[in-house]
Amino acid sequence: MTMTAAVEATLPEAAFEGRHLIDGIWKGSQDGETFDRTSPSHGILVSRSARAGQAETEAAIGAARRAFDDGRWSRVSGKQRAMLLLNVADLIEGNVERMALLETLESGKPISQARGEIAGAADLWRYAASLARTMHGESHNSLGEDMLAMVLKEPIGVVSIITPWNFPFWILSQKLPFALAAGCTCVIKPSEMTPSTTVILGELLLEAGLPAGVVNIVLGFGQPVGALMAEHPDVDMVSFTGSTAVGKAIAAAASATLKKVALELGGKNPQVVFPDADLESAADAITFGVYFNAGECCNSGSRIIVHEDIAEMLVEKVVALSKKVAFGDPLNPETQIGAIISQAHQEKIAGYVKDALAAGARVELGGAPVSHPGLPGRFFAPTVVTGVTADMAIAREEVFGPVLSVLTFSTLEDAIALTNDAAYGLSAGVWSENVHTCLAFARRAEAGTVWTNTWMDGFPEVTFGGYKQSGQGRENGRYGLEEFLEIKSVVMRVGRTRANWVRT
């Protein structure tokens, strides 16, 4: 596919101007510094954003602290919070096209995918609104006739939210509405590579009537912004999605004040295929799982573990489907695989493939960066690598690109051992027509989500998170709300029934 005149006409005439939202006011940086984001697919300037330093970050944290402590949000009714979240959901749906264009140009993802993610995120806000009205604690009425106890759930306080570049709006919507439903106030730092849809969400929050200071946005880099958001004593919790290495650094920074840390990190997610599986459906799901978002996805099905009796047949099917995937200009609605986020990341992906070849693996398809006619951006060919062994880096580390590693097994025990032989445990899949095989695998796989005969289906009601170095804490579902709550026990004595301790 080449860039048509119709597609070219959708490019914005000027760069988006991003500013910080602090205490309800849009502000530039004190020193006037900015940073630019150039499209990884089209090579044009997409956005120019104010670059925060220590002063802006501390001001945002201070605004969130005041807003929480004075109760302008934390002490209003669940009904009031729910109504605002519902208003935001409606506003999101009214701004899908505007946000999808910016997210596509900043990230390189296909515009049809960006539209789906942003429109779908509205449902996360609506589900969080339902939780705001149904949040409750417990009572203990069986402690004796003179005792009554309650367990209350209260908002944890000021939350720092730090989001990545691969799903900037979707991941923010897995965090922010749940924090707001709980009654928290927030400071948000989006990735410096994809800041613009977060800024637009700030506009929508103000339009919906959110009180000043409840949500603050600072634009900038990990140093000093992200580091200060993690370590600041006025922050009660950090919610971060990104790489495992950065997650460990955030946990270390937060440890000085023992604040709560919720981390959604990397994954090396397997799809395990047994001989009795529906191979047509499995092959399609594998193709989707590894190429969705150009593989730049923590849930990427980046390795398949396939029974040796069907391995050759399944690989042939996946390679054939891979050749049919629409690859090219992210602004073309037919495109399924777009551009790679940065030159450094493209080189990292290529390095994993090169090292695997040197270790004895084989490339069945792709394996290198490619150019796309009419575009100056960075693209990587859909890639299938076979002959992979469990000790290779490509089988153990997160490539974060459109690269599929193929391993084989002979028994259920082998498959489970290979599945769990990883530092990560975000998700896993199993393909078999035998429900006993699926259940046995699901119970023993060390992963936060196990899909059976499908891949990457998700719902706001179903919680998400990982085992091991894939993170800690959960998002979505009722557990996603619980992350932002503190537990308080209240014990009451009824009547003057307490016996004196001091003898008289």
C-alpha separations of 306 from 279, 316, 434 in Å: 11, 13, 16
- On the CB side of 443, how many CA atoms lie within 13 Å of its CA? 8
What is the H or E stretch that residue 34 is in?
Answer: strand 34-38
C-alpha 261/C-alpha 259 separation (Å) is: 6
In the structure encoding, which two tokens stand for residue 370, read together? Answer: 């490619």
DSSP code string of 133-146? HH---EEE--S-TT
Four-residue CA torsion sign, 489, 494, 496, 497: negative
Plot region of 197 (φ>0 → left; ψ -120 to 50 → alpha; else → beta): alpha
C-alpha 302/C-alpha 344 separation (Å) is: 20
Longest CA span, the chain: 95
On the 0-12 / 13-18 / 19+ scale of CB atoms within 10 A, 72 is middle
Contact 185, 74 (CB under 8 A): yes
Quote the Cα angle for 426-299-362, to 5°.
105
Beta bridge partners of 362: 386
Reported in sequence order, the residue ranges of 82-196 that DSSP labels E, i.e. its strands, are 138-140, 147-155, 158-162, 185-189
Catalytic residues: 264
In the structure encoding, which two tokens stand for residue 296, read together? Answer: 């730049």
